[in-house]
């Protein structure tokens, strides 16, 4: 396993991180989830990403039990706050009330006294940003949160938060967690240049585009049973944008490149995200331990410029680049 600094902070994280968004407490049984975490640990992964809302808070509970008995100082545990975790109007968003209550709930579920990184899961247009940042800063000063980050924020939102933190003496945001893959590059035009300048690292999710970049989805063929595309618990909605036959055909055309490099399609896709110097880690999920063991082989892989150009030439105009597609809900229910 290779390790990278998280942005300009002093924290080092495994460049392959393990995430449990659509698996723990939802798609797979707990025994399988714990086997995946054990495989991640065996392969040298030290960074684990989750969120309070995943599987209705169950994902944090499963991860907490799976990591029990591990040396806490040897792990980096990340979680998030924003989405609803209860029925009330204050059970969501980035108000001081919800941030404090959500963090304490996450600590109980994760069975830890602190999290290494606490992330605003979306931007909250209803709460003053100063209130949000002060609440995060208070948690840092209490020792319950070591670093603060965001997820799916636009460049102008990140920049505003950095300015306020500097003006008010708060700890700065050190990370951004966006979707990023060969097919989804919406951060490249605005978010990445800002973050490179300001020392904010990317912790990217869905580096294999919900499984599309593994090549298992064939153009003109039925969707594989039991795949993300047939999952009614949320996976199918996310993957639908990538199931166009032209796009799937171009993904199949990446296979010779992977074969020449001695990589699986998944390894090629993950390694591609890690070529971006602003990326601190790529998050992988798994429903089986062998998927973890396959994915970690992308760590430390260098793709030459000629390979990156071939990938761009193959994918052509199916790549999604519009920075406006990074958007938070404009109004909370």
**SS3 state of residue 80:** strand
Q: Find the helix packing angle between 155-168 and 129-141, rounded to 10°.
A: 60
What are the catalytic residues?
A: 54
Whether 270 and 16 have beta carbons less than 8 Å apart is answered as yes
The span from the CA of 165 to the CA of 35, in Å, is 40
Q: Which segments of the chain does DSSP mark as H helices, in order? A: 30-42, 58-67, 96-110, 129-141, 155-168, 191-198, 235-239, 245-252, 255-261, 265-274, 289-295, 305-315
Q: What is d(CA 256, CA 247) in angstroms, rounded to the nearest whole number? A: 16
Non-local (6+) Cβ contacts of 256 within 8 A are none
Cα first-last separation, the chain: 42
How many Cα atoms are found within 13 Å in the side-chain-facing hemisphere of 174? 24
Could you give the CA distance from residue 163 to residue 124 in angstroms, rounded to a whole number?
17
Tell me the CA distances in angstroms from 66 to 22, 130, 223, 252, one per residue in order: 16, 36, 32, 36
Count of all residues that appear for the chain in the document: 333
Which residue is listed with tokens 């396959």?
294
DSSP string, 109-166: HHT-S-EEEEEESS--TTS-HHHHHHHHHHHHHTTSEEEEEEES--HHHHHHHHHHHH
Q: Measured between alpha carbons, how far is 100 from 55 in angstroms, rounded to an integer?
A: 20
Token pair of 34 as six digits = 């714990």
């Amino acid at each position: 396993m290779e390790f990278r600094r998280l942005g300009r902070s002093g924290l080092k994280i495994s460049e392959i991180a393990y995430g449990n968004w659509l698996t723990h407490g939802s798609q797979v049984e707990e025994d399988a989830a714990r086997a995946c975490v054990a495989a991640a640990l065996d392969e040298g992964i030290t960074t684990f990403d989750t969120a309070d809302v995943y599987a209705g808070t169950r994902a944090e509970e499963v991860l907490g039990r799976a990591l029990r008995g591990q040396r806490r100082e040897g792990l980096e545990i990340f979680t998030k706050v924003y989405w609803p975790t209860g029925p009330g109007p204050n059970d969501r968003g980035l108000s001081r009330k919800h941030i404090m209550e959500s963090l304490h709930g996450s600590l109980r579920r994760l069975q830890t006294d602190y999290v290494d990184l606490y992330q605003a899961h979306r931007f909250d247009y209803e709460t003053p940003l100063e209130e949000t940042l002060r609440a995060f800063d208070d948690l840092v000063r209490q020792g319950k949160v070591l670093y603060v980050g965001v997820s799916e924020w636009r460049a102008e939102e990140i920049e505003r938060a950095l300015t306020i933190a500097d003006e008010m003496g708060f700890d700065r945001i050190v990370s951004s967690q966006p979707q990023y893959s060969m097919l989804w590059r919406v951060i490249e035009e605005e978010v990445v240049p800002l973050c490179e300048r300001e020392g904010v690292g990317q912790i990217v999710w869905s580096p294999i585009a919900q499984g599309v970049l593994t090549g298992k989805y064939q153009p003109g063929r039925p969707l594989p049973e039991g795949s993300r595309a047939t999952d009614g618990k949320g996976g199918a909605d996310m993957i639908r944008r990538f199931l166009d036959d032209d796009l799937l055909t171009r993904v199949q055309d990446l296979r010779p490149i992977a074969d020449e490099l001695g990589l699986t399609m998944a390894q090629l896709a993950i390694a591609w995200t890690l070529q971006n110097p602003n990326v601190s880690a790529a998050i992988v999920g798994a429903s089986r331990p062998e998927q973890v063991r396959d994915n970690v082989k992308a760590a430390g892989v260098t793709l030459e410029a000629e390979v990156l150009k071939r990938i761009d030439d193959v994918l052509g105009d199916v790549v999604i680049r519009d920075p406006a597609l990074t958007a938070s809900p404009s109004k909370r229910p």
